[in-house]
Amino acid sequence: MTATAPGKIILVGEHAVVYGRPAIAAPVWQCVATATIQAAAPGSGCTLYAHDTGQQLRLGEGLAEEPLAIVARLALAQLGLDRPDWQIDLRSDIPIASGLGSGAALSTALVRAIFRQAGCEVDPATLSALVYESERFYHGTPSGIDNTVVAYGQPIWFLKGAALQPFHPGCALTIVIADSGVRSPTKETVGDVRTGWLQDPARYEAIFDAIGETVVQARLAMERGDLPGLGALLDANQSWLEELAVSSVLLRRLIEVARNAGALGAKLSGGGRGGNVIALVDAAAVDRVCAAFTAAGAARVLVTRIE
């Protein structure tokens, strides 16, 4: 039995979303995680093989800190299973620690495959809740946005603690994604932002408010199909992320070359300091922006559409 799950990008609102402000995110089906389950020898138990990281995780052998083992055990418990004789193979073409939701995608594909192997489908709400438990280990204090957008597989307006709102722009958006090639675990940047917030809450709350307002305006621009307006708001969001000290010299260079190549707006997406940059483009600028990202040293460039 096989299941897949997409990567994701946050269009606007990262970091502030952890503190109760809204964010908009979308799946990226151009890169996916895959889980495949097959029966193993009787009595062999359940073993996970994470091929991209070289991990072999045998359930029931002291894996309290392993996110994939945690989510597998939770899914099996939901189904009333203990440790079936299964071999679970996990593969992903989503770069690790790149802001594209690799952890959430692997966990989502894993849970889907477990339910299918047990003869049923898991609903998105249950799937998202199960994956959230693994996200706590990847991110420390996650907002829940990664597991939600990946589990539902559609663009969302996300507000922590509020009901999910699927979201579709008034016109299709073309986004060019550049992987910087620098790995930056979200848990580290989220932790650093939290440290700053604890030290100077008034300043950080003001920045979070500004990001939240930017997200509101971005939604309005998307609903109107105002691409230049949306591009300017992506740039504004990037400026506030700079204030949170989660950008980097490399990310700024990638953003600059995208803008110079004709992008309507560009920003980092995800935790920052590494990971990826996203650029909003019109049809005429797609090839130029892709070439500019590559020339500037991006490890990988993807193009996705949000509709």
Q: Are 275 and 182 in contact (CB under 8 A)?
A: yes
Q: At which residue do the structure tokens 């969001």 appear?
A: 237
Same domain, 146 and 174: no
pTM: 0.91
Confidence (pLDDT) at 82? 85
**Core vs surface per residue 3-15: b (16+ CB within 10 A) or e:** bbbbbbbbbbbbb
One domain for residues 43 and 146: yes
Task: Say what the pLDDT of residue 99 is.
Answer: 83
Query: Could you tell me the CATH number of the domain that includes residue 25?
Result: 3.30.230.10
**Phi, psi torsion values for 98, nearest 5 degrees:** -115, 0
Residue 19 pLDDT: 96
Residue 35 shares a structural domain with residue 146 = yes
Q: Which of 158, 189, 212 is the last residue of a domain?
A: 158
**Residues in the chain, overall count:** 307
What's residue 88's pLDDT? 97
Q: Each residue's pLDDT tens digit in the chain (307 positions)? A: 999 999 999 999 999 999 999 999 999 999 999 999 999 999 999 999 999 888 898 887 666 668 899 899 999 999 999 889 999 999 999 988 788 989 899 999 999 999 999 999 999 999 999 999 877 766 566 788 999 999 999 999 999 888 888 888 999 999 999 999 998 888 889 999 999 999 999 999 999 999 999 999 999 999 999 999 999 999 999 999 999 999 999 999 999 999 999 999 999 999 999 999 999 999 999 999 999 999 999 999 999 999 9
CA 135, CA 144: separation in Å to the nearest integer?
A: 8
Domain boundary among 158, 176, 202: 158
Q: Which helix (H) or strand (E) holds 288?
A: helix 286-295
Which two three-digit tokens encode residue 285? 């600028």
Note the pLDDT of residue 63. 61
- Residue 53 CA to residue 49 CA, distance in Å, equals 9
Q: What is the CATH number of the domain that holds 176?
A: 3.30.70.890
Domain boundary pick from 128, 158, 188? 158
Domain of residue 80, residue span: 2-158
